[in-house]
Amino acid sequence: MITDLWYKNAIVYCLSVESFMDSDGDGIGDFRGLMRRLDYLHGLGVTAIWLMPFQTSPQKDDGYDVADYYNVDPRYGTLGDFVEFTHAARQRGMRVLIDLVVNHTSDQHPWFQSARADPDSPYRDWYVWSRKKPPNANEGMVFPGVQKTTWTWDEKARAYYFHRFYDFQPDLNTANPRVQAEILKIMGFWIQLGVSGFRMDAVPFVIADKGPHVVGAPKENFDMLRAFREFLQWRRGDAIILAEANILPKDDMKYFGTDGDRMQMMFNFQLNQGLFHALATADNRLLAKALKETRPGYPTAQWGIFLRNHDELDLGRLPAAEREKVFAAFGPEPSMQLYDRGIRRRLAPMLKGDRRRLELAYSLMFTLPGTPVLRYGDEIGMGDDLSLPERYCARTAMQWSGEQQGGFSSSTDTFLPTIPEGGYGYLKVNVAEQRRDPGSLLNWTERIIRMRQEVPEIGWGEYTIMNLRDHRVLGLRYTWRNNQVIVLHNLDPEGRTVRFRSEVAAGDTDRLVNLLSDDHSMPEADGRHHVTLEPYGYRWFRVGGLDYVVKRSEN
């Protein structure tokens, strides 16, 4: 069971090949460079690597404008290099997930070029066309303030084409059975080359009805998700899809499937926004609400838990007043905000480099119900470059050392400028420096990852929100196979004391063993544990002490 559902206790690390390591001095990361750093990822405790798009692309949208689904962009290497990479990852016990971007293609894709050139092209109905500009063409843009419309006139085709994203990314007509068959073929191709699954981009748009006839909320074809799931399990039984679907909690189960027949994993955007609200306000109530509303309905479903990703920190699901509180705390300047809904900074600058708050945030990520997804560079507290446009500010090169270009490349001209100066420049924040410091964020992260993998209750167990009578402290209790874990997090800049009962079974040892230090707890005279948390403090407790070894061996 644990082997089949490997994703339930995985550590996922997201990176872009382009920004991780350059092996040939052209200023662009590549698969050979990535292979050189696999032992670093293995040592960190990573069990699954999620690659952002690396297929052939004009690179107008950082690879999300795909021009060939069946090849590697020459800037990053060859298909042979990719296979060598997946083989090397497998040798180290790490799985590979890749981005599956099938809501749209590049306008340079041969399919679109054929479709626009000839109304009788076999690819014409692979895209979405209209002779007239629909009346709602100026609604529903994914990038408001940057994107002007969702329908653009193509002179060659003599028609408007639909694009939910940028105008150089025409939407595929995913309702077309031939397009759906092609998506399965794409998945099968990469599965054959060694991947263990996909992070599917923009899933609600993939399954949505498209066309000039759509008015209001489009109808969604959830049978498509079931077909994707069935195909993967036929080809490779343990392959998964991690869905990007920023939806309301009432719709979660539609994507997971009412009987576990659709997506295995989804990112928990609702929880992410509640988490940042909690960090900004020292109030756990919105976070607790998100925890209650996003409880998976069956045991194989799993959330992906993250702090920051390669996009903006999307706060669009928060009430307006609460969203403004998060903006004020973490992105008060207009240059820090994006699309009228999000913050485009990396985590460390948002938290002002405060080590206590960084540890609190990561301890929360590793102990909230689901599988943690770590963004490259966050393990060393990398910063951002707000002079770069839109989301590129948080996509700069990995900082390996204090050498030229942060040890990323020998070239003086890199794909994006590296960050040499300031508190987050590579001269101060880099892997080599932190490796030599036992107390560094990098070494702390490695230790916390190792402990997270030793606490499968978080990935597998049932959770309850503890009633601590203090909105500034979040307490979660996990139970799995007669084992129990309690995690506490103080969101407040002041110390807090909480009192609670461990709820051990009769005859069991009522002792809380601190998994991160020797600060253990025994109940006081009133039968409750009294735990004092320092400012932004956290505790991971296992209930029962030595009894845990016996219980685990009995299962």
Active site residues: 201, 244
Beta bridge partners of 154: 159
CB atoms within 10 A of CB 32: 18
Q: How far apart are CA 64 and CA 171, in angstroms?
A: 12
Q: Rounded CA gap, 488 and 476, in Å?
A: 7
Q: Residue 371's closest CA among 138, 47, 39?
A: 47
* DSSP 8-state assignment for residue 218: P
Instruction: Say how far apart CA 290 and CA 297 lie, in whole Å.
Output: 15
Torsion of CA 211, 212, 215, 219, to 10 degrees: -10
Between CA 352 and CA 334 the distance in angstroms is 17
Q: Evaluate whether 94 touches 46 at the Cβ level (below 8 Å).
A: yes
User: How far is CA 428 from each of CA 27, 394, 401, 464, rounded to the nearest angstrom?
Assistant: 21, 17, 9, 41
- CB proximity list for 190: less than 8 A, separation 6 or greater: 98, 198
> Which structure tokens are listed for 47?
């069990």
Q: Which contiguous run of DSSP H or E holds residue 452? A: helix 441-453
CA 313 to each of CA 174, 270, 302, 309, 339: distance values in angstroms, whole numbers, following the listed order: 28, 12, 21, 8, 10
The burial class, CB within 10 Å (0-12 / 13-18 / 19+), for 105 is buried
Task: Give, for 539, the enclosing helix (H) or strand (E).
Answer: strand 538-543
Q: What is the spatial distance between Cα 73 and Cα 50, in angstroms, rounded to a whole number? A: 17
